Every structure is written in structure tokens, then in C-alpha cells.
Structure 1
């Protein structure tokens, strides 16, 4: 058996190369179109294997994320292979067989997995058997319910690992690791990195917005009000297709983050685009070629898979964003904010390479007298999100305490508490589904880092600061901006 994943543009390209009539190909694709990324399991005769293929289709039509479907598909294949090696199948498997599979994954396989990975496997197996029961393929789940419920999972909730940065550590990461400066803010003539302005701007954007990497790395220029030739300015972004679990939320991008985009947009990005023209033209048929922006830059109209379509920008999935370009008359302009070689949006692995190069550089300068204390393990981009959350939570908590004291009341009114509760504000800004997720940051409110406490001390006496002010001055970078050239 062989596992494939639905790829619309690949089918279109093959059809064109094979000389299939365009109208016929479009009609076939329209009638038999599977959502992008749908797993397809085929037997040796290239026929869909049931009931897994029907389950995959049900997941796709239920708007399950392609990444999740891929993970579920591989888990189902492992379970199927394990059962077949024992002369069993999904119908004949018993509770003992499922538990043996768990033991094999956790203890006996060549590459065993930990509890968090097994919990993901358990979720996939649970959903698979729920589907098999719904179509009457099995009479019930083959395992019994426990006090924890029907799940095969461990039932263990791992604590949130919050690794945040001091201001000195952040500036060292941004300017030395990503930006190619020396720890004392001088130009490093030995620096041979690639696109330091882009990398510093991405670092700043991640910190001052609290966005996840799948959110900030997939942004398009129109979402930031940066249509070709426009200057950076403060803006709000509505995240949707690229947010975790596709949960919409609004993200404010402060002036400091926008200002650091300017050198990248005016110096580095035009050079990257110019060098990428030949590659982009060669891949013209594979791209979503936008002819014009509509509805104040919230929609795009262009040619996709041979058809002229209009799409809402915030609803574009990450894969399509990567291939979206604007036909300017003088060339193809990628609409992705952060681009690399070939003019395409950087992938997660691409950003990972940038991160490790930065870490190696930070390690090389670690003995310098101006270098701050380094963590034992390499920073990850999500540490910037944790830093954003913790600094904002500390500031808002102090603001809330100050407001209560100013009212000369034993406690604020219920309405004031509901509207200004720091945890609820941070939860909304981070896009957490449950307050309990944000509540895990509370254990870090007693900040042991005196330098950070001093850096934010002046803000504790300011009453009624708006979130815009908080976001702009969150890291108190004004003094450091003059000390360390951008």
C-alpha cells in the first residue's frame, strides 16, 4: 500500500504536460476535488483502500488541518501494519491488541516515543474508531472506558515550559546573532550571514506581537498595509487561516516592529526579488498570479490553476500564500513579507537554519565582556512569544493593582475587573482557547530578574496606558535603540 496527499496544483501541472484538454481537466478536478492535503491510501493496484480512505476524506471535509491529517495518517498506517503483522485488522483487533500496540510504540519499537507523542497517536486512534463505529464497520471501540474516559492517552497534562529573555539577552540575540553586529554594537567585518535586516525584523515582529512562527512567517504585504512601494506604519492584522487551530484573532503590530521592517523592505527585499525573477517566471504556471488587489487590499484577484479567481487574503492557507505573486508589469512581486532565495516565502526549516546560524554566532561571541549570560540550549522562536506574554502580564498586573489603589476601594467593581483583568487581556492577545493555558504564566509573575524589574519600573506608575502604548514600549527599547544601531 502507498500513501499520497492531495495536491491540486501538481495534478494541474501533470494534466497540462500530458496535453489533457483544459476544460476537461478543470471539470474532472471540480467534480472529484479533495481538500488540499487529504491523505489517499492506495493498494498495489492503485485503488483506494477502505475504510481508511473514507476516514481521511471525512477528516478533510471536516476542515481538519493538513498537518494534523498527515500525522493521523501515519499513525493509522503504523497501527494497520502492526495488526497485519499479527494476522489481524481493524475489525478483529481487541483491547489487548491495542494495548500491545501502545507498548510497542512506547517500549519495543526501534524508535520509541514519549507520552506526549503517544497521546497524539491515541487521539488519532480514538477518532479512527469513532468513525468506524459511525459507519457500522465495528460494533464499538475495542477498548473499555477508564476513570479518565474513553481515551487511550496517558491523561498527563504537561506543564507549560516558559523560557523568556532578559532585555540584554534579547538585544544580543537580535543584533549580534541575527544582525551581524558585535556585542558592543559595532559592525562585524567578519560577518558573512545572509539578509541580517530581514532576520532582525522578523525577530522584532515576533517579540512585539506575540505571534507564533506559523503566523508571522506567513504574513503577506497587504496584511501589513505594505502594498508594493508603501511605507511601514502601525497596523492591526486579522489572523485566520494561519492561526493555531484556525482560531481568528486580531494582532496589533506596533511602530517599533514596523520601523525595523523598513531597512529590509528598502534595501534587501528589492535585491532578492530582482534576483528571483528568472526563477519566478519559470514557475509561472505553478503560482497564484495576482492581477490586482481589491476591497482596500483585503482581497486578491488573479489566475490560479488556469482559472481567474478572487480570494480573501486572510483566508489564504500557508501553502497558497507561499506561491502568491503580484504581476506588476515589470516583473513578478512575491506578496509574502519574508522571502528567501527564489523569491518564495521561507519555510519552517529555512527559519530553523537561520536560528541555528544565529546560535552558533552567539556561542562564538559568548566570551566577550559585553555578552550576556547564555542559556544552555539554543533559543527557539517561541521563546519570543513567551517573553511577550510574560512582560505584558507583569505590566498589566501592575497597572491593575495601581488602578485599584487609586480608587481607594478594597476592590474594583466587577465590571472593571472583567474588562481589565490582565490574564484575560493576555489570553485574548495570544489567542489561547482557554484561560487555563494563560494562567500557567502566573507562576512566573514573581520575576527573579532584577534587571528586568528595573527596566519596567517607570511604567508601574502610569495609569490608563492603552495596549498600543504597552506594545510599543513593552521591552523599553527606546534607550537601547540609541545605544545599539539598528
Structure 2
């Protein structure tokens, strides 16, 4: 069995090469549309493997995320190979088969997985069997239901791993790692990085908004009001298609990150766009060429795959955003905020390379007097989101306490609690679906390691006490300022 993933753009290119007209290709996709990224499982004769391929299509028509479908496809493919080796299939599989599949995945495979990875596998298996029951392929699930669930999921909710930065650590990362400065804020003559203004601005934007990397790295210029050489003081963004699970929310971009974008927009970005014109023109037919913006820059209208289309920006997925360019008359200008060589929107792997180069600089400078403490493991972009959440939660909690003390009230009113609850505010800003996700930040409001250091400072040699000093103090309690104690021995 071989697993493939659909790509309409590749089919169009092959069809055009084979001599099919644009109208014929459009009619082909209109009759039976298959969303991009839909998995297709083929057997040795290159025929779809059923009923799995039909399940894949149902997931796509339910608008399941392409990344999720890919994960589900690989999980089910492993299950199919496991069942085939036991002369079984999805219809004849038993609960014992599934339990042994879990045993192999978690204990006996060459590369075993943990509970979180297995739960993703199990989510795919449950989804598949719900489809099989709905279509009549099987009469019931092959596992027994229990009060706690199916009994095959781990039911272990992974702890939220929060790693946040102090101010000196963040400035060290932003200015030394990403911007290429020396720890004393002077220029580093040895720096050979590329586009430091862009990288520094991206770091600031990630911290000051709390957006995930898929959200801030896929931003378009119109969303920030940055077209036509405009530089507004702040911006409000409606995040939807690029948010996790497509969950909409509003994101406020403060003046500081907007100001740090200016050097990049004035100096680095025009140079990248100018050098990319030949590459953009060569890819013209594969791009979404925007001819004009409508509805106060909330919609774009242009040509995509030879067809006139209009799209709402907040509903544009990352794949389409990467292809969006504006026809200015003097050339093609990518609508993406952060672009790299060739005028393309930077991918996650490109941002990852930038992060590791920044980390190498931090490690090289970490021994100096001006450098703060760096963690053992490399910073990740999500640590900026955690830092945003914790700093905002601490600030709002202090504000709420000060308000309560100033009003001299024994308890806040219900309205005050609903409008000013710090956890609810942070939940809304981060786009968490459930308050319980935000509550897990509470344990990190205080650094436990600092509390441990303070609690045991006098116990350590660094506190100035030695074993001899402590022993003499215990043997002579009156000299140590304590009342005499009765001996334990008669």
C-alpha cells in the first residue's frame, strides 16, 4: 500500500501539459471536488483502498485540517500493516488486536512512542470506526466501553510545558541572537547574519502579541495596515484561518512591535522584493495575483489558477497566503509581511534555521559579564507566547488586587469578576477554547527554583556555615541564643 496526498495545483499543471483547457480542468474539479491535502491510500494495482480512502474524503469534506489528516493517515496506515501481518483487517479486528497494536507502538517497536503520541493514534482509530459504523461497514466498535472511556486511550493529559523568559534573557535573544548586536548593545563586526531587522521585528511581534508561529509568520501587509507606505501606530488583527483549529479571535498589536517593523519595511524588505522580481514573474501563473483590495482592505480580488476570485483575508489559509502577490504596475509585491529569498513567505523550517543561528550566537556570548543565564535547551518561538501569557497574567492580577484594595470592598461584584478576571482576559487573548488550559499557567506565576534557593540558602556552604560551626552551635545552645534543652540520654 502506498499513501499519497492530493494537490490540485499539480493536477492542473499536468492537465495543461497534456493539452486540457482551463475550462475542462475547472469542470473536472467542480464535478467532484477533492480538497488539497486529502490522503489517498492505493494498493499494489494503484487502486484506492476502501473503505479507508472514503474515510479520508469524508474528513476532507468535514474541513479537517490537512496536518491532522496527514497524522491520521499515517496512524491508520500503521494499523493496517499490523492487521495484515496477522491475517486480519478492519472488519475482523478485535479488542485484543488493538491492545496488541498499542503494545507494539509503545513498548516493542524500533522507535516507541509515548502516551501523547499514542493518544493521537487512538483518536484516528476512533474516528475511523465511527465512520465505519455510520456507513454500515461494521456493526459496532471492536472494543468495550467503560465508565472511564474506551480503555485504550491513555487518559493522561500532558502537563503544560511552560518556559518563559526574564527581561534580560529576552533582550539578549532579540538583540544579540536575532539582531546580531554585541551584549553591550554595540555593533558586532563579526556578525554575518541575514536580515537582522526582519528577524528582530518578528521576535518582538511574537512576544508582544502572544501569537503562535503559524499566526504571526503568515501575516499579510493589509492586516496590519501597512500597504502604500503607511505605518500605523497600532493594529487590530482578526485571526481565524491561521489560528489553531481555525478558532477566531482578535489580536492587538501594540506600538512597540509596530515601530520595530519600520526599519525592516524601509530598508530590508524593498531590497528583497526588488531582487525577487525575476523569480516572481517566472512563477506568475502559479501565484494568486491580487489586482485590488476591497472592503477596507479586508478582501482581496485577483486571479488564481486562471480564475477571477475574491477572498476574505482572515479566511485565507497559509498555503494561499504564501502565493498572494499584489500587482502594483511596477512589479509584483508579495502580500506576506515576512519574506525571504525569492519573495517567498518564510516557511516554518526557515524560521527554525533562523532560531538555531540565534541560539548559536547566544551560546557563543553566554560566558561574558553582560550576558544573562541561558537555558540548557534552545529557546523555541512558543516560549515567547508563554512569556506573553505569564507577564500579562501577573500584571492583570496585580491590577485587580490594587483595584480591590482601592475600593476597600470585602469582595468584588459579579460584574467586576466577569470583566476583570485576569485568567479570562488571558484566555481570550491567547485563544484558548477552555479556561482550564489557561489555569495551568498559574503554577508558573512564581519561579519554584527561586523559592527553593531562598528556603535552603542557609543550609548551603555558600551561606557561610560549615559542619563544624553548625555542630558547635547545637552543642552550645546557650551561646547560640537558645534555651537549654534536656538531654536525650539519662
TM-score normalised per structure 1: 0.91
* Structure 1 residues 63 and 441, CA gap change in structure 2 (3 angstroms): same
* 2:400 alignment partner in structure 1: 400
Deviates more, 1:136-145 or 1:174-183: 136-145
* 1:311 alignment partner in structure 2: 311
Secondary structure (helix, strand or coil) at the match of 1:171 reads helix
Aligned-partner Cα distance in 2 for 1:347–1:327? 23
1:123-172 deviation line (CA, Å, top 9, x unaligned): 11111111111111111111112332126210111211111000000000
Q: Which has the higher contact order (CA 8 A, sep 6+)?
A: 1
Secondary structure (helix, strand or coil) at the match of 1:291 reads strand
TM-score normalised per structure 2: 0.90
Are 2:152 and 1:148 equivalent residues in the alignment? no
Q: Return 5+ residue gaps in structure 2 as ranges.
A: 451-490
* 1:29 alignment partner in structure 2: 29
* 2:457 alignment partner in structure 1: none
Whether the aligned pair in 2 keeps the contact of 1:123 and 1:151 (CA below 8 Å) is no
Aligned-partner Cα distance in 2 for 1:113–1:228? 51
Deviates more, 1:70-79 or 1:227-236: 227-236
Deviates more, 1:227-236 or 1:287-296: 227-236
Aligned-partner Cα distance in 1 for 2:418–2:139? 48
1:401-420 deviation line (CA, Å, top 9, x unaligned): 11111111101111111110
Whether the aligned pair in 2 keeps the contact of 1:215 and 1:242 (CA below 8 Å) is yes
Shift in Å, 1:109: 1.3
Whether the aligned pair in 2 keeps the contact of 1:232 and 1:261 (CA below 8 Å) is no
1:34-75 deviation line (CA, Å, top 9, x unaligned): 112111122233322210111011111111100000000111
Q: Return 5+ residue gaps in structure 1 as ranges.
A: 451-486
* 1:377 alignment partner in structure 2: 377
* 1:390 alignment partner in structure 2: 390
Aligned-partner Cα distance in 2 for 1:267–1:320? 26
Shift in Å, 1:446: 2.9
Aligned-partner Cα distance in 1 for 2:192–2:30? 49
Aligned-partner Cα distance in 2 for 1:232–1:262? 10
* 1:348 alignment partner in structure 2: 348
* 1:8 alignment partner in structure 2: 8
Deviates more, 1:132-141 or 1:248-257: 132-141
Are 2:99 and 1:99 equivalent residues in the alignment? yes
Q: CA RMSD in A?
A: 1.2
Aligned length: 450
Aligned-partner Cα distance in 2 for 1:116–1:326? 42
Matches within 5 A, 1:4-83: 4-83=4-83
Structure 1 runs (4+) greater than 4 angstroms displaced? 447-450
Whether the aligned pair in 2 keeps the contact of 1:4 and 1:40 (CA below 8 Å) is yes
Shift in Å, 1:448: 6.3
Secondary structure (helix, strand or coil) at the match of 1:236 reads strand
Secondary structure (helix, strand or coil) at the match of 1:326 reads strand
Matches within 5 A, 1:390-469: 390-447=390-447
Whether the aligned pair in 2 keeps the contact of 1:195 and 1:268 (CA below 8 Å) is yes
Shift in Å, 1:447: 4.7
Secondary structure (helix, strand or coil) at the match of 2:63 reads coil
